[in-house]
Structure 1
Amino acid sequence: MKTQLFPYYLRKPGLVVFALASLPSVVAGFTDGFYREEYQLLSKQTMHLLDIIGIVGLAVYALSKEKVYDELLQRLRLEAIKLTFIASLAIIALGYVVFPDFEVEPSYLINLQVLCFIGVYSFKKSNIVSAVG
């Protein structure tokens, strides 16, 4: 069974959508830490909608085809998914051990997993390309 992926040309727009949608959340997070109080840049509903749009943008990027797609890249994707799952479990477990009142919002978990997948996949792919080329 072959996974249906998005076309290659949607990779960059997906990444741009994620970056633009997550910018208000990042700004609010930094100002919360700087002023040590909750800073509301936009309404909660707007921030929630931007989180969803950012997740969709990351998913489009992560599920877009490569220019050349073969069995090696398919195997790299599978390995990246496995490592992402293990890494996100380790990060969350560490968070619970270090901070007993640690809470994870679902959107942060999804963003963590997709960003971790993109990082691991890109790293593995660049190592394979440099070894072959």
Structure 2
Amino acid sequence: MKTLLPYFMRKIGIIIFIICLIISSISGIDDFITGFTSGYNSTRLDKEISFESVEQDRTLNNDLLFTAEERNVAEFYGFLLALVGICLYILSKEKQEDEFFARLRGQAMIISVVITWSIFLVFQLTHWNTKISALSMFQLQMVIYVVVYAYQKRWKYWM
């Protein structure tokens, strides 16, 4: 696998990824607060909770932090920039690049594709009516690649 970027871009890519992960998490804070308060209220009042009642409470509740449009924009750009950060990390050189690292990169890519598609197939078989965006699947694949490559590079062959 050909590396295109210098070594210092690895650190920049990780920083971008962490910042975007935080942005994506903050954009989902309204869902967390709604789910937490609905669950708390249903256990306190001993009533059954349903998706429709949570959505109705959410629309009546005006103290949400983000509008739906702001949340969608933050999620999209958070995913997209996180993907850019991971790509910067993946396409950067090692301190000493040789054939061994090229082989590890290839193996990690194959393993990440197999794991990602396995997760996708299991999820589709168990939750067939839920749609998964291609951007989130690609980001999952890149994260799995980084984890597998780091495992192979640091623990599998150096211990």
Deviation at 1:33, TM superposition (A): 4.5
How many positions carry a matched residue from both structures?
A: 129
Give the match for residue 18 of structure 1: 17
The answer to whether the 8 A contact 1:14-1:61 is kept is yes
Larger mean Cα displacement after TM superposition, 97-106 or 117-126: 97-106
Distance change (3 Å), C-alpha of 1:20 and 1:34 = same
Match 2:117 to one of 89, 92, 109: 89
- List per-residue Cα deviations over 1:44-85 (Å, max 9, x = no partner): 334323322211111001111111111111001000000011
Shift of 1:11: 0.6
User: Does structure 2 conserve the Cα–Cα contact (< 8 Å) formed by 1:24 and 1:41?
Assistant: no
Counting aligned pairs with the same residue, the percent is 24
After superposition, the Cα gap between the structure-2 partners of 1:64 and 1:83, relative to the gap in structure 1 and judged at 3 Å, is: same
Structure 2 residues not aligned, in runs of 5+? 36-54, 59-63
Q: Secondary structure at the match of 1:81?
A: helix
1:28 is aligned to 2:31: no
TM-score, normalisation: structure 2: 0.72
Q: Which runs of 4+ in 1 moved over 4 A?
A: 37-40
TM-score of the superposition, structure 1-length normalised? 0.84
Rg comparison, structure with higher value: 2
- Whether 1:129 aligns to 2:155 is no
Within a 5 Å distance, the mapping from 1:74-113 to structure 2 comes to 74-113=102-141
Per-residue deviation, residues 65-118 of structure 1 (Å, max 9, x unmatched) = 111111111001000000011000000001011112121112211110100000
Report 1 or 2 for greater relative contact order, CA contacts < 8 Å, sequence distance ≥ 6.
2
